[in-house]
């Protein structure tokens, strides 16, 4: 049986040669947070981190991922949705349909690791994920909020949350 | 498959437990149907409903039933706001739930229309949803008053807490809900005056955000059920073609493949333990098609037919006043132009998918759908069972945009596969390639416009001939009356509340020569308003430039008696600083229209580099939807609709060669991405007194505003969409 | 809409069945639909009392597209010389032609059952009306929801 290290745990799995990491994660390992959008690395819905590097898992054969490599999926980005990006996403109501957002957040997380204070040009180059609902401007705003320490008020959206907070 | 341990919950659980006894190994999987409660399965005594719209649990949690479908457009939250406003409950304890279409049918359609399209979700249901909340509030108050033996008029409520000031007693909704559920609903229900609204009109956060940021939200392709199998499907890519033969042995000998099944007369599916195995087996399997009568059709062949329609004698009139033909013939000057707009695919991020389980007694389907009732009808028809023996469980959509509302082809396919494997849940997922090949395409049209001008440059007559595809002719031919598809004329109709032409021309003739290629048409976000607004708004610009008038001044003149159009147009012009100098190299373009009940306008600012590279800097956009339930979500819809419409206008088209769509995935059907996204400054300006839609209208003004700005920058008039490879270097 | 478009299939039709498809004269086009339906039935039965029962209009209450909807109208009857169904008709509320089917039957029809396909552009009420050999009239009314109509708002 082959092994993958996903979100800090070692998993054994059996899959045909050539099965993309995306489908091993979703089907053999049952982690469906990572999505299938195109299968040809165009849309980024399948983005995971392999040793911290944002990777489109739909075109990576699972068997090419070394046993020692650490894979992080959206489920493992934080224990309870507490990653600064996830908090900013919630503060600014970034998602619409939400289908692209797992990949979007993972791409953003990797961007922030390499560029903690990304410029607009950095964001343009680092986030090439497709969003058909068109949430790009709020994605950009949320990345800047997370990069800037988490004060969502700086985005100026004035969203009233059920707990009484205003972001 | 390795065993994944978790709990099973949700409606239908009992059936799966019956099935799982035969399931291989110790497979126990999690199954969470969003929104649908099955209290029995969860071992919790079901809280009774106060009325069909409102359930209150003992801890004051309020569950509001939502009939329409959430597809990202925010209606779930908006509809809950409408109900909660009248209900006077604690917004922090509101949750939502989708009743099923089967329940709706069984209860005489108590929740009304489930259809979510045409930007109608909130505007069509707002009154009865508010009444549902008001009725529940009255019953809850009455229950408290009965318990206290006081007149109900002496009781007040706020945030789910009921107070009788006189006796200084309070209680909460959770404590009186059971008693309230036994009362008869009042027949006289008064709604609040809008000036008293506390939730409606507020920038409230959505109710359904958190799970989308953690990967927890379950979409259709994420479902897991005991004994479930996965199916991949291929249908003949030439529309109208049929399945001839296939070599199933090639697929069946592969690991994990369980069945190869004919689906209808035009498709074949491979069923396997995993979807990857099903898909790769299907890809490897030789298939022969009888391509049918359309195998030679192409976009080039369509173009000939559409061109002919531009000057055909016979056409159906959509808007006529005066004698435009005579006025144009007599006019000393004319402006004339021909525009074209191609087929488009919805290309939702989530491909078409459905899970179905069929037995001779019952058929159940789990699917994202914009219309639960339509999915239910399609399920019953495909299952060959009465609707009462069928059910559809609505899942959260990964985008709809009109694809998942009218034609439930993927649902029928899933049921047909499940029918051939009785008792087994079958999850059907289309590949992206299948999704691109089998869309419900934005219709293709050509348009010729002619304006007659007098010697002072005033428009004396306007004629517009649309030659092209009718959606209704393809989807619902029975709706065509006397050869007329009324939907063709969105944005061009005589004055009315839905989608009218604002400009006052002395004589008008707008007509349609129906020409239907074999490509199946459908309702794409914005429907016919998309191209109609491009045609109209770009041509008005052409008239302005021909007659040396400022495009804003000309529009203001022609909209002098159309105050709501003027208001949004002026709002964007003011905010964008139209008329004041733009930064160096930046040019502006305008557009204004009326669609889906709302008045919308945009001013785009762009620049074009010396070698023709376009940059859209910002778009100022305004919408007047009458009432604005959640302004921050309306702003999100404005931005989102721009991405959809601009991506199409700049980069996208579905072309046909050898009878089939050429575009197969996102590499050759290029959506707008982050780097191309302009700053958007939305102005939400509800003027009151009517209810207009939000999900679509603004899509129509982004492209024409940008195209008009391109002309201002380069002197180049783009008339054939998409912009694509057309050079934008200065003319 | 021309009546020639609809094919009429008579289940159990014998020599005694005659089908008529012709539009009903609309004298009362200004009435609201339910009244118009009642008026059509009244005109058809020439004012005779019509009771609910005996005739069954079998159509799905939920229809996806409405382009071609199968229906069956049947009456449980021995179809004997002394006890038979004389006629079956069906009217609709919202189609351009309100008159969908009219069938004359007799003892030689063998079975009082009519099957066909109809087009429904809108959600609406359908009413099947049958007259028995004893002169009595019976009806069955069904509400049909056409989901595509709701979807495209027609």
Q: How far apart are CA B513 and CA B505, in angstroms?
A: 22
> Which residue of C67, C149, C153 is in closest CB contact with B120?
C153
Element (H, E) at B538: helix B529-546
Q: How far apart are CA C138 and CA C84, in angstroms?
A: 13
Any idea what the Cα angle at residue C57 is, between residues C56 and C58, rounded to 5°?
A: 105
Question: Cβ neighbours of residue B690 under 8 Å, at least 6 residues apart?
Answer: B497, B597, B626, B627
Q: How far apart are CA B430 and CA B353, in angstroms?
A: 6
Helix (H, G, I), strand (E, B) or coil at B512: strand
CB contact at 8 A, B104 and B146: no
> Which residue of B73, B205, B214 is in closest CB contact with A161?
B205
Q: Same domain, yes or no, for C53 and C40?
A: yes
Question: Cβ neighbours of residue B207 under 8 Å, at least 6 residues apart?
Answer: B76, B77, B80, B94, B95, B96
Classify residue C86: in a domain, yes or no: yes
Does B442 touch chain A if contact means CB atoms closer than 8 Å? no
Distances (CA, A) of B367 to B394, B459, C138: 6, 52, 42
Q: How far apart are CA B693 and CA B700, in angstroms?
A: 13
Q: Same domain, yes or no, for C43 and C10?
A: no
- Cα A83 to its chain centre, rounded Å, is 11
CB contact at 8 A, C110 and C95: no
Q: Pick the residue with more confidence: C24 or B26?
A: C24
Q: Which residue, B538, B532, B547, is CA-closest to B707?
A: B538
Contact B387 C151 (CB under 8 A): no
Does C65 touch chain B if contact means CB atoms closer than 8 Å? yes
Confidence tier at C151 by pLDDT (50, 70, 90): low
Q: Same domain, yes or no, for C51 and C24?
A: no
CB contact at 8 A, A154 and A164: no
Number of domains in chain C: 2
DSSP letters of B257-302? EEEEEEETTTEEEEEESSHHHHHHHHHHS-EEEE-GGGTT--HHHH
Q: Please give the domain boundaries of chain B with CATH numbers for all domains.
A: 47-214 (3.30.365.10), 221-293+352-429 (3.30.365.10), 299-344+441-714 (3.30.365.10)
Q: Which two tokens stand for residue A111?
A: 């961007």
Distance of residue C97 Cα from the nearest chain B Cα, in angstroms: 12
Give me the pLDDT at residue C153, please: 60
Residue B701 DSSP symbol: H
Q: How far apart are CA A1 and CA C20, in angstroms?
A: 74
Question: Cβ neighbours of residue B655 under 8 Å, at least 6 residues apart?
Answer: B298, B299, B342, B343, B661, B662, B663
Give me the pLDDT at residue C129, please: 96
Asked if the peptide bond before residue B722 counts as cis, ω within 30 degrees of 0, the response is yes
> Which residue of B373, B405, B478 is in closest CB contact with C67?
B478
Residue C21 has pLDDT above 90, yes or no: no
- Cα C69 to its chain centre, rounded Å, is 13
Per this entry, what is the length of chain C? 154
Does B276 touch chain A if contact means CB atoms closer than 8 Å? yes
Whether the pTM exceeds 0.90: the reply is yes
> Which residue of B214, B397, B640 is in closest CB contact with A81?
B214
Distance of residue B479 Cα from the nearest chain C Cα, in angstroms: 6
Distance between start and end Cα atoms, chain A: 48
Which chain B residue has its CA at the smallest distance from C95's CA?
B478
Q: Do chains C and A touch (3 or more CB pairs under 8 A)?
A: no
Classify residue C153: in a domain, yes or no: no
Q: Same domain, yes or no, for C3 and C66?
A: no
Give me the pLDDT at residue B16, please: 32
Q: How many CB atoms lie within 10 A of CB B584?
A: 6
Q: Do chains C and B touch (3 or more CB pairs under 8 A)?
A: yes
How much is the ipTM here? 0.98
Classify residue C152: in a domain, yes or no: no
Distances (CA, A) of B591 to A134, B331, B460, C24: 20, 26, 21, 50
- What mean pLDDT value characterizes chain C? 80
Give me the pLDDT at residue B562, please: 98
Question: Cβ neighbours of residue B387 under 8 Å, at least 6 residues apart?
Answer: B102, B105, B376, B377, B380, C60, C61, C62
Residue with tokens 């308003």: B529
A84-155, which class in CATH?
mainly alpha
Mutate to test the interface with A, among B80, B213, B224, B395 (most CBs of A within 10 A): B213
Give me the pLDDT at residue B439, please: 98
Confidence tier at C36 by pLDDT (50, 70, 90): confident
Q: Same domain, yes or no, for C19 and C75?
A: no
Give me the pLDDT at residue B23, please: 31
Q: Same domain, yes or no, for C18 and C93?
A: no
* A65-116 pLDDT per residue, tens: 998 999 999 999 999 999 999 999 999 999 999 999 999 999 999 999 999 9
Element (H, E) at B84: helix B75-87
| 3-state class percentages of chain A: helix first, strand second, coil last, to nearest 5 | 35, 15, 50
- Cα B500 to its chain centre, rounded Å, is 21
Classify residue C117: in a domain, yes or no: yes
Q: Which two tokens stand for residue B23?
A: 């399931």
What are the backbone angles phi and psi of residue B236, rounded to the nearest 5°? -55, 125
According to the 3-state scheme, what is the secondary structure of chain C? CCHHHCCEECCCCCCCCEEECCCCCCCCCCCCHHHHHHHHHHHHHCCCCEEECCEEEECCCEECCCCCEEEEEEECCCCCCCCCEEEEEEEECCCCCCEEEEEECCHHHCCCEEEEEECCCCCEEEEEEEEECCCCEEEEEEEEEEHHHHHHCC
Q: How far apart are CA B309 and CA B300, in angstroms?
A: 15
Q: Same domain, yes or no, for C110 and C57?
A: yes
Q: Same domain, yes or no, for C21 and C52?
A: no
Domain range for C135 is 36-146
- Homologous superfamily (CATH) of A2-77 is Beta-grasp domain (3.10.20.30)
Confidence tier at C94 by pLDDT (50, 70, 90): confident
Contact B117 C63 (CB under 8 A): no
Q: Same domain, yes or no, for C55 and C119?
A: yes
Q: Which two tokens stand for residue B245?
A: 């033969």
Q: Same domain, yes or no, for C17 and C54?
A: no
Domains of chain A by residue range: 2-77, 84-155
Q: Same domain, yes or no, for C42 and C112?
A: yes
Chain B residues with CB under 8 Å of C61 CB are 105, 387
DSSP letters of B104-144? HHHTTSTT------TT-HHHHHHHHHHHHHHHHHHHHHHHH
Q: Which residue, A82, A145, A136, is CA-closest to A112?
A: A145
Q: Same domain, yes or no, for C53 and C128?
A: yes
Ranges of chain B with pLDDT below 50: 1-44
Contact B378 C64 (CB under 8 A): yes
Give me the pLDDT at residue A1, please: 85
Does B609 touch chain A if contact means CB atoms closer than 8 Å? no
CATH number (domain holding residue C96): 2.60.40.2470
Question: Cβ neighbours of residue B468 under 8 Å, at least 6 residues apart?
Answer: B306, B309, B443, B444, B445, B446, B447, B512, B513, B514, B515
Q: How far apart are CA B625 and CA B197, in angstroms?
A: 17
Which chain C residue has its CA at the smallest distance from B523's CA?
C152
- Interface of B to C at Cβ within 8 Å reads 101, 105, 109, 113-115, 117-118, 120, 370-371, 373-374, 376-378, 380-381, 386-387, 405-406, 408, 472, 475-479, 481, 487, 523
Contact B632 A19 (CB under 8 A): no
């Amino acid at each position: 049986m082959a092994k993958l290290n996903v979100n800090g745990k070692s998993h054994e799995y059996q899959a045909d040669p050539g099965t993309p990491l995306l489908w091993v994660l979703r089907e053999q390992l049952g982690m469906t947070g990572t999505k299938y959008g195109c299968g040809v690395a165009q849309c980024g819905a399948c983005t995971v981190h392999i040793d911290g590097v944002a990777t489109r898992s739909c075109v990576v054969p699972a068997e090419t991922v070394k046993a020692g490599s650490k894979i992080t999926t959206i489920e493992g980005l934080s224990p309870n949705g507490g990653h600064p990006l996830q908090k900013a996403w919630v503060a600014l109501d970034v998602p619409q349909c939400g289908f692209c957002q797992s990949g979007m957040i993972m791409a953003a997380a990797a961007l922030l690791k390499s560029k903690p204070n990304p410029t607009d040009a950095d964001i343009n180059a680092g986030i090439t994920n497709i969003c058909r609902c068109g949430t790009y401007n709020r994605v950009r705003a949320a990345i800047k909020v997370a990069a800037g320490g988490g004060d969502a008020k700086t985005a100026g959206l004035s969203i009233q949350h059920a707990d009484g907070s205003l972001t | 498959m390795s065993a994944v341990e978790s709990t099973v919950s949700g409606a239908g659980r009992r059936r799966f437990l019956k099935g799982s006894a035969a399931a291989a190994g110790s497979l126990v999987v999690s199954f969470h149907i969003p929104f649908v409660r099955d209290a029995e399965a969860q071992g919790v005594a079901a809280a009774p409903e106060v009325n069909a719209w409102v359930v209150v649990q003992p801890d004051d949690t309020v569950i509001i039933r939502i009939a329409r479908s959430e597809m990202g457009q925010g209606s779930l939250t908006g509809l809950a706001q409408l109900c909660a406003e009248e209900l006077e409950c604690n917004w922090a304890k509101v949750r939502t739930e989708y009743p099923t279409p089967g329940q709706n049918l069984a209860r005489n359609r108590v929740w009304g229309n489930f259809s979510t399209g045409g930007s109608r979700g909130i505007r069509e249901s707002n009154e009865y949803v508010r009444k549902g909340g008001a009725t529940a509030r009255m019953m809850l108050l009455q229950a408290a008053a009965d318990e206290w033996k006081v007149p109900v008029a002496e009781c007040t409520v706020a945030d789910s807490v009921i107070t009788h000031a006189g006796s200084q007693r309070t209680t909460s909704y959770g404590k009186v809900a059971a008693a309230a559920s036994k009362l008869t609903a009042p027949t006289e229900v008064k709604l609040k005056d809008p000036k008293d609204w506390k939730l409606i009109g507020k920038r409230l956060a959505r109710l359904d955000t958190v799970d989308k940021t953690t990967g927890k939200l379950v979409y259709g392709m994420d479902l897991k059920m005991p004994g479930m199998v996965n199916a991949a499907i291929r249908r003949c890519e030439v529309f109208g073609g049929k399945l001839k033969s296939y070599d199933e042995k090639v697929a069946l000998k592969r690991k994990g493949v369980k069945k190869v099944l004919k689906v209808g007369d035009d498709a074949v599916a491979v069923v396997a333990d995993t979807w990857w195995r099903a898909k790769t087996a299907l890809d490897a399997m030789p298939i022969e098609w009888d391509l049918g009568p359309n195998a030679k059709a192409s976009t080039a062949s369509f173009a000939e037919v559409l061109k002919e329609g531009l000057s055909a004698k016979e056409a159906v009139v959509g808007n006529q006043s005066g004698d435009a033909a005579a006025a144009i013939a007599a006019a000393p000057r004319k402006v004339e132009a021909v525009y074209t707009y191609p087929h488009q695919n919805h290309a939702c991020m989530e491909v078409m998918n459905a899970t179905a389980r069929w037995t001779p007694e019952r058929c159940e389907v789990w699917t994202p759908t914009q219309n639960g009732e339509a999915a239910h009808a399609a399920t019953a028809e495909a299952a060959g069972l009465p609707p009462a023996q069928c059910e559809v469980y609505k899942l959260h959509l990964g985008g709809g945009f009109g694809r998942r509302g009218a034609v439930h082809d993927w649902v029928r396919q899933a049921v047909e596969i499940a029918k051939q494997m009785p008792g087994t849940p079958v999850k059907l997922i289309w590949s992206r390639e299948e999704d691109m090949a089998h869309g419900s395409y934005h219709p293709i049209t050509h348009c010729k416009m002619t304006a007659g001008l007098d010697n002072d440059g005033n428009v004396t007559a306007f004629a517009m001939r649309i030659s092209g595809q009718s959606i209704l002719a393809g989807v619902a031919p029975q709706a065509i009356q006397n050869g007329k598809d009324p939907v063709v004329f969105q944005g061009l109709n005589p004055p009315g509340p839905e989608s009218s032409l604002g400009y006052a021309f002395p004589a008008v003739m707008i007509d349609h020569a129906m020409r239907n290629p074999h490509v199946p048409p459908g309702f794409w976000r914005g429907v016919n308003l998309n191209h109609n607004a491009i045609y109209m708004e770009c041509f008005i610009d052409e008239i302005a430039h021909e007659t040396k008038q400022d495009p804003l001044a000309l529009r203001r003149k022609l909209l002098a008696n159309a105050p709501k159009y003027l208001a949004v147009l002026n709002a964007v012009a003011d905010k964008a600083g139209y008329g004041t100098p733009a930064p160096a190299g930046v040019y502006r373009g305008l557009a204004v229209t009326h669609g889906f009940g709302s008045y919308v306008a945009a001013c785009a600012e762009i620049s074009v580099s010396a070698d023709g590279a376009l940059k859209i800097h910002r778009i100022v956009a305004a919408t007047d939807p009458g009432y604005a339930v959640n302004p921050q979500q309306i702003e999100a819809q404005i931005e989102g609709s721009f991405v959809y419409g601009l991506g199409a206008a700049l980069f996208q088209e579905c072309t046909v060669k050898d009878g089939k769509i050429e575009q197969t995935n996102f590499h050759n059907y290029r959506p707008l991405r982050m780097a191309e996204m302009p700053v958007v400054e939305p102005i939400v300006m509800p003027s009151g007194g009517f209810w207009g839609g939000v999900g679509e209208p603004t899509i129509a003004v982004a492209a024409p505003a940008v195209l008009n700005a391109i002309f201002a920058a380069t002197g180049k008039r783009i008339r054939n969409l998409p912009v694509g490879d057309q050079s934008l270097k200065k003319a | 809409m021309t009546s020639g478009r609809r094919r009429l299939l008579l289940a159990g039709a014998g020599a005694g069945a005659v089908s008529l498809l012709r539009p009903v004269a609309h004298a009362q086009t200004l009435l609201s639909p339910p009244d118009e339906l009642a008026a059509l039935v009244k005109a058809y039965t020439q004012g005779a009392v019509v009771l609910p029962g005996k005739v069954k209009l079998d159509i799905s209450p939920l229809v996806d597209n409405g382009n071609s909807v199968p229906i069956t109208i049947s009456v449980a009857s021995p179809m004997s010389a002394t006890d038979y169904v004389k006629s079956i008709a069906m009217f609709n509320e919202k189609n351009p032609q309100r008159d969908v089917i009219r069938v004359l039957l007799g003892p030689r029809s063998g079975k009082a059952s009519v099957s066909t396909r109809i087009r429904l552009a809108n959600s609406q009420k359908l009413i099947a009306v049958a007259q028995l050999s004893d002169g009595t009239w019976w009806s069955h009314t069904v509400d049909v929801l056409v989901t595509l109509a709701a979807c495209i708002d027609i």
